[in-house]
Structure 1
Amino acid sequence: MHSGGGPDGEARARGVPPGRAQAGVPGPGEEPAPGRLIDNRYELRTRLGRGGMGVVWEARDTRLHRRVAVKELLFRGAVDPETQAQWVERARREAQAIARIGHEHVVTVYDVTEADGQVWIVMEEVNPRSLADLLRTHGRLPVQDAARICLEVLRGLRAVHAAGVLHRDVKPHNVLFRRDGRAVLMDFGIATFEGAAQVTRLHETVGTPSYLAPELCDPARRRPPSPASDLWSLGVTLYEMVEGRPPFRGPAPYEVLLAVREEEPDPPGHAGPLGPVLAGLLTKDPARRMEAGRAEELLRHVVQETPVTPSRLDLRTWPLTESTTGATRDDDGGGAEPPSPPSPVGPGRPWWRDRRLRLPALALSLVLVAAGSWLGYRRWSEPTGPGVSQTLEQAHQRGALMVGVKADQPGLSVLTDPQAHRYQGFDVDLASYIAKDLGFAPDEVQFTTVQTFSRELVLQNRTVDLVVASYSMTPERSRRVTFAGPYYLAGQDFLLRTDEKDVVGPEDLIGRKVCTARGSTPAEHLPAKFHGVKLTFRSSYGECVTDLLEHRVDAVSTDDIILAGYQKQHQDRLRLLGIPFQSEAYGVGMALGEEALRRQVCASIDRYVDSGAWYRSWQRWLQPLGLLRPSPGTCSNTDWQHLG
């Protein structure tokens, strides 16, 4: 007997009920074909990827006329009803978990629908290539790219935990990128959250062995998962980014789990400033593992210290220009000057002069990191027109611009000729450029030494017109002086003697003498950060260093850029702790209310950066100190009133 023509006839020949084939519904063991319409709305187009928890399709929302990603389950018809129901419940729970978060670094869920006995999750369309694909293509990543990606994933993960959700499968395969390059965390198929029904069996090991936390590796004595377990997985992911391989490997899953539980990973050879983050996240005891807030603080510092280059991994165009020529390497751990990028900059134009190449998210995060602690308090006066600067009028009348600088900060500002009042260093170069931009010839600029505790006083008394002296902008200071900046982003750290082997973290300095300058930001931050540190004050950091060398104090604390200069002078006797605890934004100080002058100095700072002079000065004075190059920040284009 003829079974009949057309789709229904073919369906009957396969044992599929009439009408199903015409609707595009797959038969047992089959996957849907492109063109199928889900819930009479989402048209499947191209299969993007396939993983342990489902197939992801590129689709079109026919109502809103936008591209979306649609996720469906695997093993259609190939598993027993109980297992199928369990997978359906996992998919439903994944959608619930993601939908309740809402964060820029967590994939966005638009819709959840059930059809054909399974759950379909409709999400934003992101770059279908994951961090795992990126690592396969490029090998290990440069430190600055690894730090940025890890920081973004960590922020997403913190939002996940704040919503009461545990991801339980953080790994490179589950980190994707939006079209603008921002990393997003996805695939919550085995997530758990408060109030969710459990769908995993008792003693079932859930997750990927290489990324599973040690406390979850022994089914017989396994502890319950926690946010610390997700942080371990993030640490493994970061290790893989900077080293090009996971820290724990084995020929079989059991060997991998055993290595995670019993062995220590090989010390990273390319982590550079990310070493403390890796050590903290890969601590086997979850009670002692680095907390998310501290990890974010250290990652922010690494991101701000890395060169202001366009990422060598342009994640916005990567799928279209994927390289197969081998890994991108940075053999010194991210500190070396990268090769010049190809030509969006244009022939003959240095890359650092083109602001279009600075990733917007990175630039904004750098400003927010360094200035976030005080921008919420500061409200700059609204400009009332072009205005006239009283300070500039007086300086032109006297025929000289008076600039206050430091005399004893190697690399930044050092008095080289007391008789002629000659100074040299990074701050001096900037001050000289600003003075010329304001209309003063070199012989019309008079430098004078200022101390940390006297900077506000000399500006209030108008003894000097400008102060360019590693001057951190803070809420308290902004009530007494006006700032233009930032022109440099630094981090507060500690300087120690090399014979102090037992000090491996700031907490080890509790109960010990720490020297800093009077009126400095460490004097304000240290008591709040580290209760029990015995602070002692000197007029200058040079005096503190002398006391440190002579064993009168146990450490010196100020900005890392200042400490690096002193460490360079005494390489065999002094060392940097290398774990910054506070970010600082340097600005040019002037008399309170000098809004017209602030605008002019800001414009001058931006021209200084764009001309390449900022970079050349950094190369000359600060690169030899071993510091990675930070962002100079943005002055004129920063709306200080609305960043807080």
Structure 2
Amino acid sequence: MDRRYELQRELGRGGMGVVWEARDTRLNRQVAIKELLFRNAMDPETQAQWVQRARREAQAIARIGHEHVVSVHDVIESDGQVWIVMEQVNPRSLADLLRDHERLPVGDTARIGLQVLRGLRAVHAAGVLHRDVKPHNVLFRKDARAVLMDFGIATFEGAAQVTRRHETVGTPQYLPPELATPWGGQQRSATPASDLWSFGVTLYETVEGRAPFRGPTPFEVLEAVRESALPEMQYAGPLRPLIEGLLVKDPEQRMTAARAEELLQHIAQETPSHGGLSHQGPYGPGRAGGGQGADGPDGPHGPAGGAGEQGNATRLVGRFSRLRPPRSGGVDGDGADRRRRTRRSALVGGVALAVLLGVGWYAMDGWDSEDTPSLQDSATYREARKRGYLAIGVKSDQPGLSEVVNEEKETYRGFDIEIAKAVAEYLGFEKIQFQTVNTASREYRLRKGDVDLIVASYSITPERKEQVDFAGPYNYAGQDFLVRKDAEEIDGREDLDGKKVCTVDKSTPVAGLKEYVPKAIRTMRSSYGKCVQDLLAGTVDAVSTDDIILAGYRSQYDKELKILDDQFSTEEYGIGIAKGDEALKSAVCDALAQVIADGDWTRLYREHLEPLFPERVIPRTPTLKECDEGQ
């Protein structure tokens, strides 16, 4: 390949070849380079066809030029192969997100879908058909904008024919019925409507967590695409009529791109009064309008009724759509319980208004009832009321999340601290006593009763759930590495073999290091702050823990430290509660749902975490799945 580009590491591998991270030595910038196939991997005739396909992919992308379509910088042909030099985007695709999180909320699905559709419309305006729109081919720039890529089977006017007659082109699950014709049948030509079908399947899978047409073999998948009715949607809410319109089997009757964009704009609430798209944090495009509204159909917590069921108010009212308790004065247990039992009447009016306006959707998980656990059943709550304050365990050395501001006055700040304050307020406590806990002591402190709750980047794991209960998750993270900027030999976790990596004993990163970097030399400390000091002193080569935590330390030592951006796990932060205290868990779940529904979660993330991690791709509003347990 041209000596201008230095291959650095493999980013991904698929049927079309390998994508590499590389450096453009002439312009001193990072790029992605797609190598279509391995040298001598097939017979010369087939290889020539694939080279032609690669050349055509580069031509297809280069002629588009749109913010939601990946950019091509260069094309290199060498020794019978084509290398496509593209902008570097985050290698985690929408498909990767769905593997990690099963499905996305309606608001996030609508915003991502809107961007993909705009890219697709630009593709069509350039006379190009993508022919393989699917979650695997939707990636994200560092500013969270979705980009459409992988035009390996694209066609446009004047393009040379690569595929043979009767060859099925595309991925069966996303192939439109007009192109899913069995061998020997009369196959129709691909049109822009064909791409819109694939886009509709992508939206369905994103919001529902499963593809609509499935089968044990490709043939049976194609048969389902042609013959089966669209499966009922559980979570799509206002996306339902849009998806149904895109998945009409007759391409001539299929919803147009212009109408689809209009509906997505409405669902995503992309209007001047609500602001535009914004990047907010760990999971996906930010929420328009600061939190509520567009998040509604799936959130904060569960399935929503379809658009055809808008008259059924109970399909739109969520168990966790709570009214905020008064901000002034203490609240006794009976008063708190009365609030929880009587919110239904106040919510009904709000739901009726939401139905009329077409906004403010909520998840349905059941009405509040007399069966809702009483806080007075919680021994922890009763003891806290007796002493007059809520004791909450937090960390003291995690910038952005939870850190001590003034040790003498024992004042704390950070995202976790504000979440803890919101929960305490919801439970009726004006006074909070924060107590510093470390990773190893959290379960013990809860069991002993030293603290009532723990809000301390507490990752939910099966092992911990045997000892404590969790409400949440209220935030997400992923394990990564912090290294010195002058450690040029360390560019990924594969470079840490034989290196000293510091983490905290009895933390979840210990298991991650054992599995993913088994040849690293693990060094245990009691806190990540001590690990960072060791890293700065040069006694260890890296620190490994959740990327959010690392981002806080990086912000303190920006000139000395960097994050590898080699995430290899997904961590879910929950609020720790004494084992078996269902009444307190239910109330804390309600509190978290209120924080999300009011838009406070978004505001707090932007205030405390986004400045530390502006490159974070795809902020995610938490889905309180731990709160489903026992319901």
SS of aligned partner of 2:81 = helix
Partner AA of 1:401 in structure 2 = L
Gaps of 5+ in 1: 1-149, 158-165, 171-209, 251-255, 279-294, 365-382
Are the structure 2 counterparts of residues 303 and 626 from structure 1 closer, same or farther at C-alpha, using a change threshold of 3 Å? farther
Contact 1:602 1:636 in 2 (8 A): no
Shift of 1:312: 3.5
Contact 1:217 1:261 in 2 (8 A): no
1:326-345 matched pairs, under 5 angstroms: 333-335=142-144, 342=266, 345=269
SS of aligned partner of 2:85 = coil
Shift of 1:587: 0.2
- Partners in 2 of 1:302 and 1:490 — Cα distance? 12
Are the structure 2 counterparts of residues 463 and 259 from structure 1 closer, same or farther at C-alpha, using a change threshold of 3 Å? farther
**Residue 447, structure 1, aligned to residue 412, structure 2:** no
Partner of 1:352: 291
- Partners in 2 of 1:344 and 1:301 — Cα distance? 23
1:110-125 matched pairs, under 5 angstroms: none
Tell me how many residue pairs correspond in the alignment: 386
Partner AA of 2:436 in structure 1 = T
Partner of 2:470: 483
Shift of 1:314: 3.6
Query: 1:106-136 deviations in whole A, cap 9, x for unaligned?
Result: xxxxxxxxxxxxxxxxxxxxxxxxxxxxxxx
SS of aligned partner of 1:552 = coil
- Partners in 2 of 1:344 and 1:264 — Cα distance? 34
Contact 1:308 1:352 in 2 (8 A): no
Partner of 2:424: 435
Contact 1:249 1:259 in 2 (8 A): no
Shift of 1:334: 2.4
Partner AA of 1:563 in structure 2 = L
- Partners in 2 of 1:343 and 1:307 — Cα distance? 8
SS of aligned partner of 1:353 = coil
Partner of 1:511: 498
SS of aligned partner of 1:265 = strand
Shift of 1:529: 2.2
Contact 2:115 2:145 in 1 (8 A): no
Partner of 2:448: 461
- Partners in 2 of 1:242 and 1:260 — Cα distance? 31
- Partners in 2 of 1:262 and 1:420 — Cα distance? 64
- Partners in 1 of 2:492 and 2:103 — Cα distance? 21
Shift of 1:502: 1.3
Partner AA of 1:445 in structure 2 = I
Partner of 2:564: 577
1:244-259 matched pairs, under 5 angstroms: 244=69, 247=72, 258=78
- Partners in 2 of 1:398 and 1:318 — Cα distance? 57
- Partners in 2 of 1:262 and 1:323 — Cα distance? 25
Aligned with residue 620 of structure 1, among 596, 599, 607: 607
Are the structure 2 counterparts of residues 393 and 506 from structure 1 closer, same or farther at C-alpha, using a change threshold of 3 Å? same
Partner of 1:133: none
- Partners in 2 of 1:554 and 1:361 — Cα distance? 41
- Partners in 1 of 2:44 and 2:145 — Cα distance? 48
Are the structure 2 counterparts of residues 455 and 416 from structure 1 closer, same or farther at C-alpha, using a change threshold of 3 Å? same
Shift of 1:504: 1.7
- Partners in 1 of 2:302 and 2:565 — Cα distance? 23
Are the structure 2 counterparts of residues 474 and 618 from structure 1 closer, same or farther at C-alpha, using a change threshold of 3 Å? same
Shift of 1:603: 1.1
- Partners in 2 of 1:421 and 1:336 — Cα distance? 41
Are the structure 2 counterparts of residues 301 and 248 from structure 1 closer, same or farther at C-alpha, using a change threshold of 3 Å? farther
State the TM-score, normalizing by the size of structure 2: 0.52
Contact 2:460 2:470 in 1 (8 A): yes
Aligned with residue 595 of structure 1, among 575, 582, 597: 582
Contact 2:401 2:415 in 1 (8 A): yes
SS of aligned partner of 1:484 = strand
Shift of 1:506: 1.1
Contact 1:304 1:489 in 2 (8 A): no
Shift of 1:323: 8.3
Shift of 1:223: 7.7
Q: CA RMSD in A?
A: 5.0
Aligned with residue 81 of structure 2, among 238, 247, 261: 261
Partner of 1:634: 623
Partner AA of 1:334 in structure 2 = D
Partner AA of 1:261 in structure 2 = Q
Shift of 1:213: 2.5
- Partners in 1 of 2:567 and 2:595 — Cα distance? 28
Query: 1:19-42 deviations in whole A, cap 9, x for unaligned?
Result: xxxxxxxxxxxxxxxxxxxxxxxx
Are the structure 2 counterparts of residues 318 and 561 from structure 1 closer, same or farther at C-alpha, using a change threshold of 3 Å? closer
- Partners in 2 of 1:308 and 1:491 — Cα distance? 23
Q: Percent identity?
A: 34
Aligned with residue 381 of structure 2, among 379, 384, 392: 392
**Residue 409, structure 1, aligned to residue 398, structure 2:** yes
Partner of 1:126: none
Contact 2:300 2:623 in 1 (8 A): no
Partner of 2:409: 420
Shift of 1:631: 1.5
1:187-198 matched pairs, under 5 angstroms: none
Partner of 1:179: none
Gaps of 5+ in 2: 1-10, 19-33, 127-138, 147-263, 275-287, 304-369
Partner AA of 2:516 in structure 1 = K
SS of aligned partner of 2:44 = coil
Partner of 1:549: 536
Deviates more, 1:616-625 or 1:349-358: 349-358
Shift of 1:508: 1.4
- Greater C-alpha radius of gyration: 1
- Partners in 2 of 1:592 and 1:221 — Cα distance? 65
- Partners in 1 of 2:490 and 2:17 — Cα distance? 35
Query: 1:382-420 deviations in whole A, cap 9, x for unaligned?
Result: x98624111111100110100111111000011112222
- Partners in 2 of 1:306 and 1:496 — Cα distance? 34
Shift of 1:362: 13
Contact 2:106 2:296 in 1 (8 A): no
Are the structure 2 counterparts of residues 212 and 574 from structure 1 closer, same or farther at C-alpha, using a change threshold of 3 Å? closer
Partner AA of 1:463 in structure 2 = D
- Partners in 1 of 2:587 and 2:66 — Cα distance? 43
Partner AA of 2:37 in structure 1 = A
Contact 1:545 1:566 in 2 (8 A): yes
SS of aligned partner of 1:495 = strand
Are the structure 2 counterparts of residues 259 and 595 from structure 1 closer, same or farther at C-alpha, using a change threshold of 3 Å? farther
SS of aligned partner of 1:515 = strand
1:151-166 matched pairs, under 5 angstroms: none
- Partners in 2 of 1:486 and 1:621 — Cα distance? 18
- Partners in 1 of 2:410 and 2:107 — Cα distance? 33
Query: 1:504-545 deviations in whole A, cap 9, x for unaligned?
Result: 221211211111112210112211222222111111100000
State the TM-score, normalizing by the size of structure 1: 0.51
Query: 1:118-176 deviations in whole A, cap 9, x for unaligned?
Result: xxxxxxxxxxxxxxxxxxxxxxxxxxxxxxxx99xx9xx8xxxxxxxx7x799xxxxxx
Partner AA of 2:598 in structure 1 = S
Contact 2:48 2:80 in 1 (8 A): no
Contact 2:35 2:83 in 1 (8 A): no
Are the structure 2 counterparts of residues 464 and 240 from structure 1 closer, same or farther at C-alpha, using a change threshold of 3 Å? farther
**Which structure is richer in relative contact order (CA contacts within 8 A, separation 6 or more)?**
2
Shift of 1:421: 1.6
Contact 1:459 1:465 in 2 (8 A): yes
**Residue 220, structure 1, aligned to residue 44, structure 2:** yes
- Partners in 2 of 1:361 and 1:223 — Cα distance? 50
Partner of 1:182: none
Shift of 1:215: 3.7
Shift of 1:577: 0.6
Contact 1:490 1:630 in 2 (8 A): no
Contact 2:501 2:523 in 1 (8 A): yes
Query: 1:277-313 deviations in whole A, cap 9, x for unaligned?
Result: 69xxxxxxxxxxxxxxxx9768867999999745445
Are the structure 2 counterparts of residues 524 and 612 from structure 1 closer, same or farther at C-alpha, using a change threshold of 3 Å? same
- Partners in 1 of 2:116 and 2:67 — Cα distance? 22
